[in-house]
Amino acid sequence: MTLANHFELLGQSDAARLGRLTTPHGVVRTPAFMPVGTLGAMKGLHWREVRDAGADIVLGNTYHLMLRPGAERIAALGGLQKFTTWNGPMLTDSGGFQVMSLAQLRKVSEKAVNFRSHIDGAAIELSPERAIEVQLLLGSNIAMQLDECVRLPAERDDIDRAMRLSLRWAERCKRAFETAPDGHMLFGIVQGGDVPELRQQSARGLIEIGFHGYAIGGLAVGEPQEVMLAMIDETAPVLPQDRPRYLMGVGTPEDILEAVARGIDMFDCVMPTRNGRHGVAFTRFGSVNLRNARHADDPRPLDAESSWPSTRNCSRAYLHHLVKSGETLGAMLLSEINIAYYQSLMSGIRAAISNGTFESFRQQTRAHWAQGDIAAL
Amino acid sequence: MTLANHFELLGQSDAARLGRLTTPHGVVRTPAFMPVGTLGAMKGLHWREVRDAGADIVLGNTYHLMLRPGAERIAALGGLQKFTTWNGPMLTDSGGFQVMSLAQLRKVSEKAVNFRSHIDGAAIELSPERAIEVQLLLGSNIAMQLDECVRLPAERDDIDRAMRLSLRWAERCKRAFETAPDGHMLFGIVQGGDVPELRQQSARGLIEIGFHGYAIGGLAVGEPQEVMLAMIDETAPVLPQDRPRYLMGVGTPEDILEAVARGIDMFDCVMPTRNGRHGVAFTRFGSVNLRNARHADDPRPLDAESSWPSTRNCSRAYLHHLVKSGETLGAMLLSEINIAYYQSLMSGIRAAISNGTFESFRQQTRAHWAQGDIAAL
């Protein structure tokens, strides 16, 4: 059976794609960056700020939410959108990636991944079927298949084994998703590490099963940027033109721009909020470390021409003071400044694709980054 | 010489006073609650939220700001209002209270208080003259005299000695303030612990010196509420009708309501933000501890009839989850919910005085608090 398609490809500029993904909770303009609200909250931001910054969709982490407050509880409370008050489109990962990175005594079998909670040590089994059940309980608009993600560098045999297991799990996830209510989407995840032919085998296997969209997983896990981009180059051409493509866990503004240039539609990353908490701002002229003493007496804002009020109005001296003093407001301001920068980048990308000028936008954006921050006073 | 008066008494309902205090940065409607922005920032709130909640004026702590980022630096950056982007009326304390509670190796002499910074151990001298200089550098609209505050219970001799020293310092502060630009105000601080006649001597001494306004200090330092209210009863009638009266460091919503009933116009306290960070919300029906497991599955908001969106829209279950998970958003939401509750209380108080119905407002408000939170599901 053919899956309903909620994605429209609206235009293209070279390989960069402009699209629209429709969910019962609203429309997602692509290319889209999804801020990460791990535990049902963005760290340091109110939902209204995420919305104001221009985000159409956010990501929730299934692993964290199933442990606390629990998927059944969120379902009883009306689902994740209502629970969090975000009330917009939401994608959930499958939990697999966090199981690999956070859980204790992890054991992967054909049937499932078994682990102990990092909070209270409780024994938990996450099977492909349970990963889908949990995501449907959460009520996310886009669910992800359970997969096994291998850290790079890795042996080819390990990459191959994990890719094939992920394909078998993809099939079980698809079956488990058959009872999902209308309007919910399920994405498959291409694995295959840094081995081009395994990436292509994975993509073809997923397409045969059939998904609402296709993610590229297992990248941004320690490999150099060239490897990541090369893997996108190997994979994207294999993927169906009419379905959304999501590059998981990516990345820096530069990673995103380069991946859009290779035909990717969706992204997520904790970097804007995490770096914000550590005193680093993303701007049109690259990243700025506000801990640096050069900012202590600098009355200038991060970017006088930004459309985001805090970026335009807060002095570097004030941000420096807040960061150095450990005031929550420092992390709050830099997190919203960074989310706003990421969203303004996406908005610029979408406008450029729409105008057929993506390549010149890309060159200009890279030139600004290369130019670097304004000189110290 | 007579000091300019920036305060207008607009009305009275029993002893409760409605007023207006005018500063170059804006008008303060009294009775007013001043949220505390210790280090040039409210913990967990953006300034726009403080403003939206209805606060006309905020308080900055001179002790903290003189240590970090430094008064001279803030002056060079255009003053505290510009530095912080708050841009509204601001009162600064004199630094004396924090020196007593935070600084190390503190030594009080006739000349000054000498101490070591709690940050880097630097030796610092805070004299009455320096306290005024620092506050003028900060550019606060209302400066406070340097005083010595004695923790209760204390011996009468100690209270007496500190009160007389504070009076002599008041005189020196007044003299140091003579060069202040137009529109800046200086408040004297009534001391005298829990001894009625010392309180009255202090108030009379200050009136003789002459200030723009009068604060009652040295309360809310560990004494029972009856003692605090009794001291207000002893002091307020002595103070000039046409000048603002500020009860320092107070307090709970009930403390504020009772002090307004005794003729107090201004308040400040860290309680709404501090308790918010600890998971406690202030509501029309008393305080609610969101850590309590009874809220885990409760879809109801804190107060469905509140005019503040987060109070009305966030479920107790969501707030409980955020607080239990240590998510910053929990502290952010509860801090704004509490500041909004305090400001709505002040707004209700002002409306009631204006309508001449303060006493019935007071009874009704107390009845709601006594009624307590809604029953668990």
- For A4-48, the pLDDT digits (tens) are 999 999 999 999 999 999 999 999 999 999 999 999 999 999 999
For A51-109, write each residue's pLDDT tens digit.
999 999 999 999 999 999 999 999 999 999 999 999 999 999 999 888 888 877 889 99
ipTM: 0.96
User: CA of A171, closest CA in chain B: separation in Å?
Assistant: 34
The answer on pLDDT for A151 being more than 90 is: no
Token pair of B326, please?
């240590």
Nearest CA in chain B to A67: B325
For A166-190, write each residue's pLDDT tens digit.
999 999 999 999 999 988 999 999 9
Look at residue A236 and tell me if it is in a domain: yes
One domain, residues B264 and B280: no
Q: Do B296 and A321 touch (CB under 8 A)?
A: no
Look at residue B111 and tell me if it is in a domain: yes
User: CA of A309, closest CA in chain B: separation in Å?
Assistant: 11
Catalytic one among A265, A268, A303, A373?
Answer: A268
Look at residue B1 and tell me if it is in a domain: no
One domain, residues B311 and B233: no
Nearest CA in chain A to B46: A329
User: CA of A101, closest CA in chain B: separation in Å?
Assistant: 19
Look at residue A320 and tell me if it is in a domain: yes
CA B167 to mean position of chain CA atoms: 21
SS3 of residue A152 by DSSP: coil
One domain, residues B213 and B309: no
Q: β-pairing, B90-92 with B58-60?
A: parallel
pLDDT of residue B359: 98
Nearest CA in chain A to B273: A328
C-alpha span between A96 and A99 (Å, rounded): 5
Pairs across A and B, CB distance < 8 A: 108
Nearest CA in chain A to B319: A84
Across the interface, of A77, A322, A327, the residue whose CB is closest to B315 is A77
In a 10 Å sphere around its CB, with 0-12 CB exposed, 13-18 middle and 19+ buried, how is residue A27 labelled?
middle
One domain, residues A235 and A327: no
A93 is catalytic: yes
Specify the number of domains making up chain A. 2
Token pair of B9, please?
């008494």
One domain, residues B197 and B283: no
Q: Which residues contact B283 (CB under 8 A, 6 or more apart)?
A: B302, B303, B306, B311, B341, B373
Q: Do A68 and B317 touch (CB under 8 A)?
A: no
Entry pTM: 0.97
One domain, residues B64 and B149: yes
Q: Return the percentage of chain A with pLDDT > 90, whole number.
A: 92
Across the interface, of A78, A318, A320, the residue whose CB is closest to B85 is A318
Mean pLDDT of chain A: 96
**For the residues of A244-261, what is the DSSP string, one character each?**
-EEETT---HHHHHHHHT
B93 is catalytic: yes
CB environment A150-185: b (16+ within 10 A), e (fewer): bebebeeeebbebbbbbbebbbbbbebbeeeeeebb
Looking at the DSSP bridge assignments, the partners of residue A214 are A188, A245
Residues from A contacting B (CB-CB < 8 Å) are: 39-46, 68-69, 73, 76-78, 83-85, 296-297, 299, 313-315, 317-318, 320-322, 324-325, 327-333
The CATH number assigned to the domain holding B63 equals: 3.20.20.105
Looking at the DSSP bridge assignments, the partners of residue B55 are none
Q: Which residues of A touch B329 (CB under 8 A)?
A: 41-46
| Residues annotated within a binding site of B for substrate | 93-97, 147, 191, 218
One domain, residues A264 and A280: no
Q: Do A297 and B73 touch (CB under 8 A)?
A: yes
> Count of residues for chain A?
377
One domain, residues B165 and B192: yes
Q: Give the sheet arrangement for strand B16-23, strand by strand.
A: B7-13, B16-23, B26-30
One domain, residues B48 and B79: yes
For B244-280, write each residue's pLDDT tens digit.
999 999 999 999 999 999 999 999 999 999 999 999 9
Q: Do B46 and A332 touch (CB under 8 A)?
A: yes
Q: Is A160 annotated as a binding residue?
A: no
The answer on pLDDT for A333 being more than 70 is: yes
Q: Which residues contact A53 (CB under 8 A, 6 or more apart)?
A: A308, A336, A339, A340, A342, A343
> Of the candidates B268, B286, B310, which is a domain's last residue?
B268
The answer on pLDDT for A1 being more than 60 is: no
Look at residue B151 and tell me if it is in a domain: yes
pLDDT of residue B1: 53
Does residue A268 contact residue A249 with C-beta atoms inside 8 Å? yes
Nearest to A243 by CA among A2, A16, A55, A9: A9
Checking B228-231 for CB contacts under 8 A at 24+ apart, the result is B228/B255, B229/B258, B229/B259, B229/B262, B230/B194, B230/B196, B231/B192, B231/B194, B231/B196, B231/B199
Residue B322 lies in domain: 276-376
- Average pLDDT of the residues in A130-147: 97
pLDDT of residue B231: 97
One domain, residues A61 and A85: yes
One domain, residues A27 and A154: yes
One domain, residues B64 and B186: yes
User: CA of B272, closest CA in chain A: separation in Å?
Assistant: 16
Within 13 Å and on the Cβ side, how many CA atoms surround B135? 36
Look at residue B48 and tell me if it is in a domain: yes
Reading chain B (377 residues) residue by residue, the pLDDT tens digits are: 578 999 999 999 999 999 999 999 999 999 999 999 999 999 999 999 999 999 999 999 999 999 999 999 999 999 999 999 999 999 999 998 888 888 778 899 999 999 999 899 999 999 999 999 999 999 999 999 999 998 889 999 999 999 999 999 999 999 999 999 988 999 999 999 999 999 999 999 999 999 999 999 999 988 999 999 999 999 999 999 999 999 999 999 999 999 999 999 999 999 999 999 999 999 999 999 999 999 999 999 999 999 999 999 999 999 999 999 999 999 999 999 999 999 999 999 999 999 999 999 999 999 999 999 999 98
Token pair of B253, please?
């919503």
Q: Give the sheet arrangement for strand A185-190, strand by strand.
A: A32-35, A266-269, A245-247, A213-216, A185-190, A142-144, A90-92, A58-60
Eight-state DSSP code of residue B145: -
> Of the candidates A242, A268, A294, which is a domain's last residue?
A268
One-letter amino acid of A159:
I
DSSP count for chain B of H helices, then E strands: 15, 16
> Of the candidates A251, A268, A285, which is a domain's last residue?
A268
Look at residue A2 and tell me if it is in a domain: no
Q: Do B39 and A73 touch (CB under 8 A)?
A: no
- Which residue spans within B199-321 are E strands per DSSP? 213-216, 245-247, 266-269, 280-283, 286-289
Look at residue B288 and tell me if it is in a domain: yes
pLDDT of residue A170: 98
